[in-house]
């Protein structure tokens, strides 16, 4: 029997704060996570703002030994995973089983580690490459260190799906549970911000000067961010057996690849249309039943226009409330769709749509029902989390309140 899959715990490290409560209260209040860039000099690039995590003390979550081995992305991941496990009320040793897996997404992993190594190599020659630091760089180290922290024994996997990586990881975890390959999956994504990525986005012409205005007529681009969000996923049987609180059900997800351009979405959003329809169909619902969409909403001209076209196409003109929390947390690259999946979970829990900030002048090319500038109360039984990414990736996740979706046997495949 194919089982339902539930989210039973969430943890988050973000520019809006640490933990669910800090994140969500800031998001519904429309607070900004943007601040002057720290850690490198961005001024020569003509941009000085980012959505960095500040006030994060790894030692609050990691042992002293772990702090020496984990880079910033892995530290975020371990902290968020620890919070998620605590939020789920999982007993300390309950994850020490081959039936518990860790699945993560990222774009580049420990980008600052390789930057530090590169700088040492450039400045002082190859002998300056530290054998102790080198292994920290590998893009798959964050979930490995999460697995060691939690002592899980099932498979550990990294899906580097760029800015859609969170949805990929949640989807893969969903598949593992549904197929019977695991009972519990710790799924999420992590990303840290460093100078090369920041400069790269600036050179692509994608970074706004001070603020991110998704779907606004005068939008100027994204604000680069960082963070991590991690979830405890369980089969219904496992969750019920231990009396867990079911926060949200994962109904299904859709994938596609534009096969068009490495950084630009397909002009008609063909892959995104397919992925969104698949997420809805595989959850056993119709577009008419979707209450809210957490948009990819980067605030770039190309993305927002295409995404609006996709939503118009899939919903046949029905105006579904749409928000982009990137207007507050920035574009956290590999972690973005995980952070936004958390937004969806909290929306399902509270029936409150967080706002899209700085939405001042509607763009006629983005004719959406944007939740503008203040949070809005509304039905939230079924929601979508939309993500696009470098490589032409499209991944859409459908989440629902518990006991709303039809049984898995009545859903599409």
Q: Least CB distance from residue 42 to another protein, whole Å?
A: 9
Q: Least CB distance from residue 191 to another protein, whole Å?
A: 11
- Give the nearer residue to another protein in terms of CB position, either 10 or 256: 256
- In this structure, are residues 18 and 94 in contact, taking their beta carbons and an 8 Å threshold? no
The span from the CA of 5 to the CA of 11, in Å, is 18
Does residue 59 bind another protein (CB under 8 A)? Answer: no
- In this structure, are residues 341 and 333 in contact, taking their beta carbons and an 8 Å threshold? no
- Give the nearer residue to another protein in terms of CB position, either 252 or 330: 252
Does residue 199 bind another protein (CB under 8 A)? Answer: yes
Active-site position among 149, 238, 274, 296 = 296
- Give the nearer residue to another protein in terms of CB position, either 20 or 281: 281
- In this structure, are residues 228 and 76 in contact, taking their beta carbons and an 8 Å threshold? yes
Would you call 119 a catalytic residue per the annotation?
no
Q: Distances in Å between the alpha carbon of 381 and those of 126, 276, 338, 349, 401? A: 56, 17, 19, 9, 5
- Give the nearer residue to another protein in terms of CB position, either 44 or 243: 44
Residues 205-224 that bind another protein (CB under 8 A): 205
Of 53, 156, 169, 310, the one binding another protein (CB under 8 A) is 156
Query: Given the rule CB under 8 A, which of 5-13, 58-66, 337-345, 375-383 is the region that contacts another protein?
Result: 58-66
- Give the nearer residue to another protein in terms of CB position, either 201 or 292: 201
Query: Given the rule CB under 8 A, which of 25-33, 128-136, 209-217, 235-243 is the region that contacts another protein?
Result: 128-136
Residues 164-183 that bind another protein (CB under 8 A): 168, 172, 175-176, 179
Of 157, 189, 233, 311, the one binding another protein (CB under 8 A) is 157
Q: Which of 1, 409, 6, 403 is nearest to 241 (CA)?
A: 6
- In this structure, are residues 329 and 223 in contact, taking their beta carbons and an 8 Å threshold? no
Of 160, 297, 299, 354, the one binding another protein (CB under 8 A) is 160
Q: Least CB distance from residue 90 to another protein, whole Å?
A: 16
Does residue 294 bind another protein (CB under 8 A)? Answer: no
Q: Least CB distance from residue 161 to another protein, whole Å?
A: 6
Does residue 67 bind another protein (CB under 8 A)? Answer: no
Does residue 257 bind another protein (CB under 8 A)? Answer: yes
- Give the nearer residue to another protein in terms of CB position, either 157 or 192: 157
Per DSSP, what are the bridge partners of residue 255? 395
Q: Least CB distance from residue 72 to another protein, whole Å?
A: 15
- In this structure, are residues 270 and 257 in contact, taking their beta carbons and an 8 Å threshold? no
Q: Which residue has the tokens 């702090």?
A: 67
Q: Least CB distance from residue 21 to another protein, whole Å?
A: 30
Does residue 136 bind another protein (CB under 8 A)? Answer: yes
Does residue 393 bind another protein (CB under 8 A)? Answer: yes
Would you call 212 a catalytic residue per the annotation?
no
Of 27, 141, 248, 273, the one binding another protein (CB under 8 A) is 141
Q: Least CB distance from residue 160 to another protein, whole Å?
A: 3
Query: Given the rule CB under 8 A, which of 11-19, 210-218, 317-325, 388-396 is the region that contacts another protein?
Result: 388-396
Does residue 147 bind another protein (CB under 8 A)? Answer: yes
Query: Given the rule CB under 8 A, which of 125-133, 221-229, 234-242, 310-318 is the region that contacts another protein?
Result: 125-133
- Give the nearer residue to another protein in terms of CB position, either 195 or 369: 195
- Active-site residue set: 163, 296, 331
């Amino acid at each position: 029997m194919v089982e339902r899959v539930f989210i039973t715990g969430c943890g988050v490290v973000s520019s809006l704060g640490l933990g669910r409560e800090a994140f969500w209260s800031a998001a519904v209040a429309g607070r900004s996570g943007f601040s002057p860039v720290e850690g490198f000099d961005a001024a020569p690039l003509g941009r000085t703002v980012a959505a960095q995590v500040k006030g994060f003390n790894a030692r609050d979550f990691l042992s002293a030994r772990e702090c020496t081995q984990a880079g910033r992305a892995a530290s975020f991941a371990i902290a968020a995973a620890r919070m998620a496990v605590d939020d789920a009320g999982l007993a300390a040793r309950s994850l020490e089983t081959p039936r518990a897996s860790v699945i993560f997404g990222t774009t580049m992993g420990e980008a600052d580690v390789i930057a530090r190594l590169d700088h040492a190599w450039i400045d002082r020659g190859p002998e300056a490459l530290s054998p102790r630091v080198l292994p920290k760089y590998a893009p798959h180290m964050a979930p490995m260190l999460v697995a060691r922290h939690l002592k899980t024994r099932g498979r550990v996997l990294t899906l580097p799906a760029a800015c859609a990586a969170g949805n990929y990881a949640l989807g893969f975890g969903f598949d593992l549970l549904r197929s019977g390959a695991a009972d519990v999956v710790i799924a999420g994504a992590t990303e840290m911000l460093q100078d090369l990525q920041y400069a790269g986005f600036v050179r692509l012409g994608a970074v706004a000067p001070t603020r991110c205005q998704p779907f606004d007529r005068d939008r100027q681009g994204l604000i680069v961010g960082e963070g991590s969000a991690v979830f405890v996923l369980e089969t219904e049987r496992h969750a019920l057996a231990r009396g867990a609180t079911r926060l949200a059900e994962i109904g299904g997800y859709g994938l596609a690849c534009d096969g068009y351009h490495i950084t630009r979405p397909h002009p008609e959003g063909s892959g995104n249309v397919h992925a969104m329809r698949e997420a809805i169909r595989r959850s056993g619902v119709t577009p008419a039943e979707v209450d809210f969409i957490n948009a990819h909403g980067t605030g770039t001209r190309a993305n927002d226009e295409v995404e609006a076209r996709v939503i118009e196409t899939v919903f046949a003109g029905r105006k579904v409330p749409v928000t982009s929390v990137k207007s507050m947390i920035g574009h956290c690259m590999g972690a973005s769709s995980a952070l936004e999946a958390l937004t969806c979970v909290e929306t399902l829990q509270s029936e409150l749509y967080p706002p899209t900030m700085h939405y001042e002048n509607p763009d006629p090319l983005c004719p959406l029902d944007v939740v503008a500038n203040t949070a809005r109360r509304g039905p939230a039984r079924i929601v979508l989390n939309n993500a696009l990414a470098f490589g032409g990736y499209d991944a859409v996740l459908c989440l629902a309140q518990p006991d709303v979706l039809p049984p898995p046997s009545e859903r599409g495949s």
